[in-house]
Amino acid sequence: MAFQIECPNCGVRPAWEFHYGGATRNRPEPQAPSADWVEYIYSRSNTRGEESEWWYHRSACKLWFLAERDTSTNHVLETRRFEAQENVGG
Amino acid sequence: MPSPMWRQHELKESYDVVVIGGGVHGLATAYYLTKLGVRNIAVLEAKYLGFGGSGRNTAIVRSNYRTPEGIAFYDHSVKLYEQLAAELEFNVMFSQHGHFTLAHNERGVTGLIERANNNRMVGVNSRVIYPAEIQKLVPHLNVFGHSRFPIMAALYHPPGGIIRHDAVVWAYARGADRGGAHIHQQTEVTAIDVHQGKVTSVRTNRGTIRAGAVVNATAGYASTISKMAGVPLPIESHPLQACVTEPLKPFLDAVIVSSTLHVYVSQTDRGELVLGAEVDDHQSYSIKGSLAFLEGAATHLLELFPFLANVKVLRQWAGLCDMTPDYSPIIGEAPDVKGFLMTVGWGTYGFKAGPASGHLLAERIASGKTPKLLEPFGLERFANDCLVGEKAAASVSH
Ligand SMILES: Cc1cc2nc3c(=O)[nH]c(=O)nc-3n(C[C@H](O)[C@H](O)[C@H](O)COP(=O)(O)OP(=O)(O)OC[C@H]3O[C@@H](n4cnc5c(N)ncnc54)[C@H](O)[C@@H]3O)c2cc1C
């Protein structure tokens, strides 16, 4: 099946309408050792399987939201709005 | 009956070098190792030789990169490719009819001038040419007709061209086999054992192998293998798509690339047009093609060659690309795991590099010393802030 994503605002749309924002991850404290920053800036989990990610509805409502996606099939298990008090990293 | 190109073997309990990945990089590394007298080696391939990018690429070979480090490295590869048919006694159909990178705005022209200057400094044949000369060299290109983004200049690289990618893979496989390497298809690595900071063995669906050294040559799958050895990588896997049209009379002998239009095209010896674009926006291990890609590639191709409007697409496919932050590869030993080597981060541009990286990595493994041309490409460059920025020369023109 074609790769589709459900935008929390607009509903199910083809994937090309969206921009991939990367897997969620935690930003180090400003004073953290530089090794931690190198890791944060460059290393990627590049997961083969389920991953939680940021997506952006570039071609429509411009919402940044969260998705759980199986990266081996592009099957999207869940999408949801980001809540301001959440600490998901990015 | 013709003899097979490579033989089948039982999996031995131990090899001096285990290469993971049966693409151009794994097989070239194995071939050059046998030439250096390292013969107790295995190439492990989960599926079949050429399953990965090496059987899916669009076969562009060139060395007109941007950085002096990159240019020198890819130039070494082009020179090895020029000798490859003779060296491996196999027709790899390398046709060097020139490579044109188009610019449609002033920023683009500046980028081409920078590349031409750097290319010439390293001794690579490359220069910027302007519309009249472009039209003379590529008569069917829409240089002066109506277009949304008129062509302002091109980086002309006469030694660039296309090659028969499957032939390269098979030829290296046969060469490695003749040199004594064991090629194991349908052999998937499932775990890597590391003991006291040194790699000791590799586990597969066919059993465990003790290994003196292990080479990760799995491109789009590199992160999955590296994780097994506990080595994080600055790599994200993205699909890259391509398609071919029905065959046409030969009209295009050069490779044409436009970053502004997100498209590149060449014509094969069979007359088919091969076209592609840049990687899909999202990370993924799924290699399904999309209609969005086809629409984009077709639309953009018509800006360059409007008369192709009624040509039919025959087939379309995708492969995985292991993208690095600086669009340069990562080659060498993992700083924290002895005996765990890698030739990864080949992104959308690694086929042309198979001979150079195989040759130099084999030398690194056999001698323990890093050849000069490989020095800039170690994994430690990210922590050391010494990136080799090739995005401008590699994001659409693979
Ligand atoms: C559509 C497309 C167009 C391209 N165009 C060009 C081009 O014009 N010019 C250019 O220079 N480059 C191009 N590239 C890039 C080029 O194809 C790759 O960089 C190159 O082929 C990588 O070769 P490799 O040997 O490193 O890996 P691959 O050929 O990808 O081989 C890796 C192998 O590892 C195997 N593997 C994975 N996991 C395991 C495991 N657990 N155990 C055992 N084996 C495993 C896979 O099955 C695979 O066969 C293109 C790529 C694509 C997808």
ipTM for the predicted complex:
0.95
Q: What pLDDT is stored for residue B396 in this prediction?
A: 81
Chain-centre distance for alpha carbon B394: 11
B307/chain A closest Cα distance in angstroms: 28
Q: What pLDDT is stored for residue A86 in this prediction?
A: 75
Q: What pLDDT is stored for residue B3 in this prediction?
A: 82
User: Residue B233: its chain A contacts at CB < 8 A?
Assistant: 43-44, 46
- pLDDT category at A2 given cuts 50, 70, 90 is confident
Q: Three-class SS string for chain B?
A: CCCCCCCCCCCCCEEEEEEECCCHHHHHHHHHHHHCCCCCEEEECCCCCCCCHHHCCCCEECCCCCCHHHHHHHHHHHHHHHHHHHHHCCCCCCECCCEEEEECCHHHHHHHHHHHHHHHHHCCCCEEECHHHHHHHCCCCCCCCCCCCCCCEEEEECCCEECCHHHHHHHHHHHHHHCCCEEECCCCEEEEEEECCEEEEEEECCEEEEEEEEEECCHHHHHHHHHHCCCCCCCEEEEEEEEEECCCCCCCCCEEEECCCCEEEEECCCCCEEEECCCCCCCCCCCCCCHHHHHHHHHHHHHHCHHHCCCCEEEEEEEEEEECCCCCCEEEECCCCECEEEEECCCCCCHHHHHHHHHHHHHHHHHCCCCHHHHHHCHHHCCCCCCCCCHHHHCCCC
Q: Name which of A16, A39, A73 is nearest B290 (Cβ-Cβ).
A: A16
- Report CB contact under 8 Å: A43, B232: yes
Q: Return the C-alpha torsion angle B156, B57, B266, B63, nearest 10.
A: 10
* Domain presence at residue A41: yes
Average pLDDT over residues A42-68: 98
For B7-34, write each residue's pLDDT tens digit. Answer: 999 999 999 999 999 999 999 999 999 9
* Domain presence at residue A87: no
Cα B54 to averaged position of ligand 1 atoms, centre (Å): 4
pTM reported for the whole predicted model: 0.97
| Token duo for residue B167 | 């032939």
* Domain presence at residue A72: yes
Indicate which atom in ligand 1 lies nearest the CA of residue B220: 30
Q: Which of B67, B92, B89 is nearest to B78 (CA)?
A: B92
Residue ranges around ligand 1 (CB below 6 Å): B 20-26, 44-47, 51-54, 56-60, 188-189, 217-221, 225, 240, 242, 276, 319, 321, 346, 348-352, 398
Decide if A3 contacts A74 (C-beta within 8 A): yes
B87/chain A closest Cα distance in angstroms: 38
Q: Which domain covers residue A17, as residue numbers?
A: 4-81
Q: What is the CATH number of the domain that holds A32?
A: 3.30.2270.10
* Domain presence at residue A75: yes
Decide if B305 contacts B140 (C-beta within 8 A): yes
Cα B320 to averaged position of ligand 1 atoms, centre (Å): 7
Q: Which residues of chain B have pLDDT under 50?
A: none
Distance, CA of A44 to CA of B57 (rounded, Å): 24
Residue B229 phi, psi (nearest 5): -95, 5
Q: What pLDDT is stored for residue A85 in this prediction?
A: 73
Distance, CA of B262 to CA of B292 (rounded, Å): 13
Average pLDDT over residues A20-35: 96
pLDDT for residue A83 is more than 90: no
Query: Chain B within 8 Å of A9 (Cβ-Cβ)?
Result: no
Q: Name which of A3, A42, A48 is nearest B234 (Cβ-Cβ).
A: A42
Domains contained in chain B, CATH given:
14-58+165-234+326-393 (3.50.50.60), 95-161+237-323 (3.30.9.10)
Q: Name which of B221, B281, B291 is nearest A19 (Cβ-Cβ).
A: B281
Number of domains forming the structure of chain A: 1
Cα A64 to averaged position of ligand 1 atoms, centre (Å): 33
Name which residue sits closest to atom 50 of ligand 1, judged by CA. Answer: B57
For B303-351, write each residue's pLDDT tens digit. Answer: 999 999 999 999 999 999 999 999 999 999 999 999 999 999 999 999 9
Q: Name which of B233, B284, B290 is nearest A71 (Cβ-Cβ).
A: B284
Mean pLDDT of all residues belonging to chain B: 97
Mutate to test the interface with A, among B216, B282, B295, B382 (most CBs of A within 10 A): B282
Distance, CA of B371 to CA of B41 (rounded, Å): 21
Q: What pLDDT is stored for residue A90 in this prediction?
A: 66
Q: What pLDDT is stored for residue B82 in this prediction?
A: 98
Q: What pLDDT is stored for residue B326 in this prediction?
A: 97
Name which residue sits closest to atom 52 of ligand 1, judged by CA. Answer: B57
User: Residue B325: its chain A contacts at CB < 8 A?
Assistant: 42
User: Residue A23: its chain B contacts at CB < 8 A?
Assistant: 283
Percent of chain A with pLDDT over 70: 98
Q: What pLDDT is stored for residue B2 in this prediction?
A: 77
* Domain presence at residue A88: no
Chain B from 185 to 204: CB within 8 A of any A CB: none
Q: Which of B380, B369, B327 is nearest to B74 (CA)?
A: B327
